[in-house]
Chains A and B, each alone.
Chain A
Amino acid sequence: MTLRQVAVLGTSAVVLVIAALASVALGSTTIPVRDVLHALPLVGDGRVDGPTDQIINSLRIPRTVTAILVGAALGVAGALLQGALANPLASPDVVGVTAGSGFGAMIILLAFPGSVTLVPLSALVFGLVATALVFAVAWAGRGGGSIARLILAGIAVSAVFTAGTTALMTAFPDRVSTAIFFIAGYLSYDGWETLRGVWPYFAFGLVAAALLIRPLDRLALGDDVAQSLGVRPRVVRLLAAGIAALLAAASAALAGLLGFLGLVVPHAVRLAGGTASHRFVVPTSAVAGAALLLVADTVARRVAAPLDLPVGPFMVVLGVPLFLWLLRKAV
């Protein structure tokens, strides 16, 4: 890694740590950072009063951990897809996962509002179902597995699920307001419960992403060179897109539709680091994605406190100017 790349990764990590502390300290009641450090699990000595400990460990830390996981997962998902499809516009939307997860959440929120605890599961399942459909279309028959086929299949399948979502909204117009948070992308004080169900998907996805870094780098010079090096480009592409879909679906289960993060963060990381090498882009996208989501969420719940606003728009407001600045500097 060059000095510049170390600096980008280091800066992202520092922002992440500061944002994590701020995210635990700030809320409807402000807790001094000293108390936060005392109350941290594993490293803290537990010298805080009961209610404060309760707020930190049962409400705020789960939310902070969720933001870190989701931000990291979406950053990695975007980096994997952009690398695998050699397409700068690739994001989890492209393989249908966003539309699928949105439909899955809407079914529960609009048609079965009594079973609201099933939203994460339904978002996860439908996100993966949509991706499976995209892959089945894209890889079937002669000439399967081409990038163009995959992207077009993704657009078509996404259209179907988006139409389903629109149909649900038309059928239950009075309940649409309850779905706005999911669509905008949100984080909540739900505690550890949802996280407990979904973390294995994140763990598996992030480890698999780490193993895909080198095969993805070998695709950089084109499929012919990759094949010369003993890589099967179609297999790498399928695996990378599948892992990205898993990470994005798990993210949607926890935090709604934040796919924009997956599009912008890897680009920003590439521009800032001056390299497209996945050894740099994938891990740095994870750290930078987590940092961005965490900062945005901390702002989102402070800006109109005690009102807890959805994080999605704030992430866009913070991320886009930074991205545009990098884009201008790069060209």
Chain B
Amino acid sequence: MTGEHPTDPLLEVHGLAVRLGGRDIVTDADLVLRRGELVAVVGPNGAGKSTIVRAAAGLTRPAAGTVLWGGRDVRSVGPRRLARLRAFVPQRPQVPQGVSVEEAVAIGRSSHIGPLSRPGAADRLAVTEALERAAAAGLRDRQLTTLSGGELQRVQLAVGLAQGAPALIADEPTSALDLGATATMARLLRSLADDGLGVILVVHDLALASAIADEVVVVEAGRTVATGPPSAVLTADRLARTWRVDAALATDATGRTALHVGWLGGPPGASSPDGTGDDPDGAGDDPTGEHPAGTAPPAGVTGAPSSGVPVAPDPPPGAPGAIHPPTTEGPPAP
């Protein structure tokens, strides 16, 4: 199988381009995944995050570039073999009637079972293990239609784990979950990576991404524009350029993460990166997008800078902290 050496990448994506419906959705994306590593793919809505990971998983055909699984081009890997290399956990699972949790997870195991053979003891064990690893063992006999959003997402994860692949690709598994369920999912995904799985996670919650990811990939307008450790990539400058918000990530002494956001369009750089300078008055005048030295991208961040997207301008003079929408294109994406 793959990964003769533990450090060999499971997945390498280079120069990926994807066209869907005659439109260029992804133009130039790079992505590398290794065992035991959790990679968070982040970016604004419509940037192409899902399309990149779908193409990486072999669900969507690339228009250009290479997708290598264990060093082999995804197009030359047969579908059954690919099923042993990676599992894909979709964003919106289909919830059929009359299917129990156990049956659903058994479906995840089906790529290991020949067309005419029956599931054996090893397959049943794999189903039980997947349920346990996804903290879904207690749901075993429930019908899918009776599950809550968080439970359903854990079952969906178990379906992927039952596939027994060394890589797991999850497309926004937390997007519809409440705080507690999101935290459960975050711990689960992190523990899977700690157990040696390669995990790719598409996620909107940047505080969550910075807490659990080894590496963050920022996608903007169909391109991967930055890759690196969360603290190096998710800088206030990056948040201003890519999401067009005035925001900064902060981690406190106990490891809690937070995203401090100037929701009402305060000037970029008004909040200091350590999260202490909570300054909604917008005192900092910075229409050019230049920032205090502390918020500049640290060295070690790879990828091209974004193509000069304008940052939110100052509030009008005389209205410091007043409620007003940002005057650039569209409101800041939460």
Contacts and interface: CB of A to CB of B under 8 A. Distances in A.
Interface residues of B, number: 36
Contacts of B100: 275
B96 interface: yes
Contacts, number: 84
B80 A220 contact: no
30 contacts: A86-B96, A142-B21, A142-B22, A211-B115, A217-B107, A220-B94, A220-B99, A221-B93, A221-B107, A221-B159, A222-B93, A224-B88, A225-B93, A225-B107, A225-B159, A227-B57, A227-B58, A227-B59, A228-B89, A228-B160, A229-B107, A229-B111, A230-B81, A232-B79, A275-B100, A276-B96, A276-B97, A276-B98, A277-B99, A277-B103
A228 B110 CA distance: 11
Contacts of A217: 107, 110
Nearest to B97: A276
Contact of A229 (B21, B115, B116, B163): B163
B108 interface: yes
B213 interface: no
Lowest 5 CB-CB distances: which A-B pairs, in order? A222-B94, A230-B83, A276-B98, A224-B90, A230-B79
Interface string A212-244: 001001101110110111111000000000000
Contacts of A227: 57-59, 79, 88
A270 interface: yes
Interface residues of A, number: 23
Given A214-B110, A225-B90, A220 B59 contact: no
Interface in A134-167: 142-143
- Most B CB atoms within 10 A — which of A211, A224, A274, A275? A224
B193 interface: no
A275 B103 contact: yes
Contacts of B93: 221-222, 225
Given A228-B160, A230-B79, 13 more contacts: A142-B21, A142-B22, A217-B107, A221-B107, A227-B88, A228-B83, A228-B87, A229-B83, A229-B108, A231-B79, A274-B98, A276-B99, A277-B99
Nearest to A228: B88
Interface string B295-323: 00000000000000000000000000000
B82 interface: yes
A109 B82 CA distance: 54
Interface in A255-283: 270, 274-277
A86 B57 CA distance: 24
A112 B127 CA distance: 61
B39 interface: no
Contacts of B57: 227-228
Contacts of A277: 98-99, 103
Interface in B90-141: 90, 92-94, 96-100, 103-104, 107-108, 110-111, 113, 115-116
A225 B88 contact: yes
A218 B107 contact: yes
Given A225-B90, A225-B93, A220 B83 contact: no
Nearest to B91: A224
Interface of B: 21-22, 57-59, 78-83, 86-90, 92-94, 96-100, 103-104, 107-108, 110-111, 113, 115-116, 159-160, 163
A233 to B, nearest CB: 10
Contacts of A229: 83, 107-108, 110-111, 163
A26 B57 CA distance: 61
A218 B110 contact: yes
Contacts of A231: 79
Nearest to B81: A230
A114 to B, nearest CB: 48
Nearest to B57: A228
Contacts of B107: 217-218, 220-221, 225, 229
A230 B82 contact: yes
A141 B58 CA distance: 21
A192 B59 CA distance: 50
B94 A228 contact: no
Contacts of B89: 228
A276 B100 CA distance: 9
- Most A CB atoms within 10 A — which of B80, B87, B107, B163? B107
Contacts of A214: 110, 113, 115
A218 B82 CA distance: 16
B96 to A, nearest CB: 5
Nearest to A83: B96
A142 B87 CA distance: 27
A221 B59 contact: no
Nearest to B155: A221
A66 to B, nearest CB: 30
A217 B104 CA distance: 9
A302 to B, nearest CB: 36
A264 to B, nearest CB: 16
Nearest to B58: A227
Nearest to B104: A221
A220 B96 contact: yes
Given A214-B110, A218-B110, A230 B80 contact: yes
Contacts of A224: 59, 88, 90
Given A222-B93, A275-B103, A228 B163 contact: yes
Contacts of B22: 142
Interface in A289-330: none
B98 A275 contact: yes
A112 B98 CA distance: 49
Contacts of A225: 88, 90, 93-94, 107-108, 159
Contacts of B94: 86, 220-222, 225
Contacts of A232: 79
A29 B113 CA distance: 53
Nearest to B22: A142
